[in-house]
Amino acid sequence: MNQNKSEKGKYVIWVFLPIIIAYVIQIILEIMAAQGAVVYVMAMFKGTTGAEMIQDINDIIVSGTFNSLIQVVYAIVIAIVFGFIYKKLFKMDSKFKFFKSSLNPAITITGIVLMAIAFQYICTYLMAAIVVAFPDWYTEYMQLLENAGIGESMSLLMGLYAVLLGPICEELLFRGVTLTAALKTFPVPVAIVLQAVLFGAYHRNMLQGCYTFVFGLAVGYIMYLYDDIVIAIIIHIVYNILGTYLSRFLPTGGNTVISYFSWLLGSLIVGYFAVMLLKRGSAKVNNQDNFDDI
């Protein structure tokens, strides 16, 4: 029993430490980038007053290119750091093999696509419901997207972050290290909910935090079924591609209350079907839904 407690204690810190490390890395990179902007302006400055120099520095720091570059560098650093930690702590003896935890890759791929589509709708309708109750959250959310450079005129760098680097670093951080450590420490349902809460809090915006919490629950469960970080990353990438570039092409139904709930119900049914497909395609023993230890 003491050995079991010791084993749990070894991993419990890795449930909460990753999000702290991620914030520290982000702060350090932002400070370094700001200092770099100051040095660059001082070296290239051709003005005559200190006010002009400060304005030049501010123009660089608030620019979309500057912020996109920070996000890309941040994602790469996080992916390297937590990829190493994930491998060192949990996968030291594992060899990489694509779809190694799938009994049927065709079923798994179908489930991934359906799940990404379904949760685009689920999260969109969830956002709509939340915005009605908390309209200020929507204003904050749109300001966040504008500051991050995410929109119709998104840069190539920000697009790269949104659809590839962001999903990789976030999955390694939350479904890789955080969830895997939580599953070794807490009952399965608690572990999945806890990592989803941390995933939502990580985004530091109430509206985004709500729908990323729901998405985190779904991807966390699939990670539990497969114990395969590649599956989680692919789901996240497909989800972000749909949300970033293809959402305008997805049918949304009418604007009535009946159509809203009809499409929401349809999305939930498709999402459930997708999860069942993914469960059927999992080769892991986790597909037995061992939730009785709660």
Q: What distance in Å separates the CA atoms of residue 141 and residue 139, rounded to the nearest whole number?
A: 5
For the chain, percent of residues with pLDDT exceeding 70: 88
E-only strand ranges, 133-209: none
Assess if residue 293 is contained within a domain. no
The pLDDT, as a whole number, for residue 188 is 95
Using pLDDT thresholds of 50, 70 and 90, give the confidence band for residue 9: confident
| Least confident range of 12-16, 123-127, 153-157, 252-256 | 252-256
At 102 the three-state DSSP class reads strand
| Beta-ladder partners of 282 | 102
Looking at residue 86, what is its pLDDT?
95
Average pLDDT over residues 94-103: 78
Region of residue 284 (left: phi > 0; alpha: psi -120 to 50; beta: else): beta
Is 60 exceeded by the pLDDT of residue 222?
yes
pLDDT value of residue 237:
96
Task: Quote the CA–CA distance of 68 and 79 in Å, as a whole number.
Answer: 16
Taking a C-beta distance cutoff of 8 angstroms, is the pair 135, 142 a contact? no
Domain that holds residue 8: 2-288
**pLDDT for residue 238 is more than 90:** yes
Q: How far is it, in rounded angstroms, from Cα 186 to Cα 188? A: 6
Residue 34 reports pLDDT greater than 50 = yes
Q: How far is CA 23 from CA 18, 64, 118, 270, in A?
A: 9, 21, 31, 35
**pLDDT for 3 beyond 50:** no
pLDDT at 1: 42
Residue 290 confidence (pLDDT): 52
Which of 128, 147, 158, 122 is closest to 273 using CA atoms? Answer: 122
Q: Answer yes or no: is pLDDT of 38 > 70.
A: yes
In contact, 272 and 114? CB cutoff 8 Å: no
Q: How far is CA 1 from the centre of its chain?
A: 36
Residue 80 lies in a domain: yes
Point out which residues pair with 102 in neighbouring strands. Answer: 282
Residue 285, pLDDT score: 55
Q: Pick from 42-56, 89-103, 161-175 the range whose average pLDDT is largest.
A: 161-175
Question: Whole-angstrom Cα distance, residue 237 to residue 29?
Answer: 24
Over residues 4-9, mean pLDDT: 64
Model confidence at 39: pLDDT above 60: yes
Higher pLDDT, 254 or 168: 168
Count of the separate structural domains present in the chain: 1
Instruction: Provide the 8-state DSSP code for 248.
Output: G
DSSP character at residue 93? T
Alpha helices in 91-155 (DSSP H): 105-133, 135-148
**Rounded Cα–Cα distance for residues 68 and 54 (Å):** 21
Task: Give pLDDT tens digits for 84-93.
Answer: 999 999 988 7
Locate 91 and state its tokens.
């996968």
In a domain, 294, yes or no: no
pLDDT by residue (tens digit) across 139-184?
A: 888 877 776 666 666 788 888 898 999 999 999 999 999 999 999 9
Output the pTM of the full model. Answer: 0.88
Between vectors from CA 21 to CA 12 and to CA 38, what angle results, nearest 5°?
175
- Residue type at position 279: K
Backbone φ and ψ for 290, nearest 5 degrees, come out as -75, 75
